[in-house]
Structure 1
Amino acid sequence: MTIYSTLLGGNFEKLHPKLQHRYTLPIDQTFYAEGHMQQIQTGSKLLLPLYLFASKLNFLFPESGENIPFTVANCCRINQNDEAEVSWERSFFFPESVRKFNAKMTIDLEKQLVKDYLGDVPLFYSDLLFKVTKEGFLMITSGTQKVVVGNKVLKIPNIFRGRVVVLEGYDEAKDVYTIHVSIYNSLIGRIMTYAGEFTESGR
């Protein structure tokens, strides 16, 4: 068992069997997949400085587009704190650039949540709550978010939070995984949304 099956407990078995396979993630074995995003949309031009800064950390990025090829790789390893940690490496192949959206996740069993450190330099942190839907899909929503500055951890006020909703499923008719992600803010609206399909593959 790795972090997601440990966190979800008995509910893990309520996931669609393909999602159970995807999220079992044995130690040091990589789940690799490729597909396309039917649509990627970013937000207001006022957010361009944030996008440009975050893109240097392999987090957010400024491009939007349709039918964008992408890959995802997940691997669970034991980190320096002796915790099971899952790396997320997502690459989006735009016509003129390749953008990444990376993260590392561990779990807090006491609080029953996932700790998500965003980007290759973990300046941004978010609590994530995992839930299995009645259809056997995985729904992920965000909670508390923080900025890490040196040895200081600063909580982001709720009004400035990027509220995240992720729904990952499996389409049996098409034999593909499906993904829908929405990141929005109550003041400025959409920060980023994307929706697509993918299949497991070997590198």
Structure 2
Amino acid sequence: MIYKEILGDDFNKLHPKLQERYSITMDCPFHGKGIMLHISNGKRWLKSFLRLAVRWKFLFPEEGSNIPFTIRNTSKQLANGDQEIYWERSFHFQHVTRHFNAFMTIDPEQRIVKDYLGEPNLFYSDLTFLVASNGELHIQSGAQRILLGKWEVPIPRLLEGKVMVKEGYDDVNGLYTIHVDIRNPMLGRLMAYDGRFKQEDR
């Protein structure tokens, strides 16, 4: 369980339902289904980039409210012995389904999650996982690179898309909560979404 390994003792400070959510193994995937209350993008001229990113199942130009959403987290063991978590996030707009997929492993020495975004991989980002005092999981991005075949080119800080994720659990309604905000230091918001979902039977 890579997330338990990276968080160490702090894993037990997560809300119990988040502990279940992030205890992903090859025999224990996570499937969720819910609604994105809001999905928004940034400046209008960024739409061309977002339309291009669709090819890699990365970002997308659509926006809206109350968008059906599914998430699947599955695990496999790589040839080098590392555990990899595959993230399949699907947003079901009225006329099209968009995806935001990623592959995660960990660097236990640096205590970071290694996030390869897109399918095939287009971007790479370091991720830091933190447990908030209320039991939420907070995720922050670090150094980023663009992937060009076998080449990984560092992205200057001013061009990075800084990511902040907050994931929690609503005990009253029995739903997982998710808030994602992706911003650039110069351009402002690139994408944001806020949603609720429940676990489906495996």
TM normalised by structure 2 equals 0.97
Matched, 1:69 2:41: no
Q: Which residue of 1 aligns with 2:99?
A: 100
Instruction: Give every structure 1 segment of 4 or more consecutive aligned residues whose post-TM-superposition deviation is greater than 6 Å.
Output: none
- Give the SS at the match of 2:114: strand
Structure 1 Cα separation of the partners of residues 2 and 55 of structure 2:
28
The superposition leaves residues 161-188 of structure 1 with CA deviations (integer Å, 9 ceiling, x where unpaired) of 0000000000101111000000011111
Structure 2 Cα separation of the partners of residues 82 and 123 of structure 1:
23
- Unaligned runs of 5+ residues in structure 2 are none
Amino acid at match of 2:119: D
Moved more, 153-162 or 19-28: 19-28
The Cα shift of 1:20 comes to 0.1
Q: Which residue of 2 aligns with 1:36?
A: 35
Matched, 1:51 2:36: no
- Unaligned runs of 5+ residues in structure 1 are none
- Give the SS at the match of 1:49: helix
**How high is the sequence identity, in percent, across the aligned residues?**
47
Q: Which residue of 2 aligns with 1:197?
A: 196
Matched, 1:22 2:21: yes
TM normalised by structure 1 equals 0.97
The answer as to whether partners of 1:54 and 1:61 remain within 8 angstroms in 2 is yes
Amino acid at match of 1:108: D
The superposition leaves residues 19-76 of structure 1 with CA deviations (integer Å, 9 ceiling, x where unpaired) of 0000001224321010000000011122122111111110100000000000000012
The Cα shift of 1:77 comes to 1.0
Structure 2 Cα separation of the partners of residues 127 and 92 of structure 1:
24
- Give the SS at the match of 2:101: strand
Amino acid at match of 1:76: S
Aligned CA-pair RMSD? 1.0
The Cα shift of 1:200 comes to 0.3
Q: Which residue of 1 aligns with 2:86?
A: 87
Amino acid at match of 2:34: G
Q: Which residue of 1 aligns with 2:162?
A: 163
Q: How many residues align?
A: 202
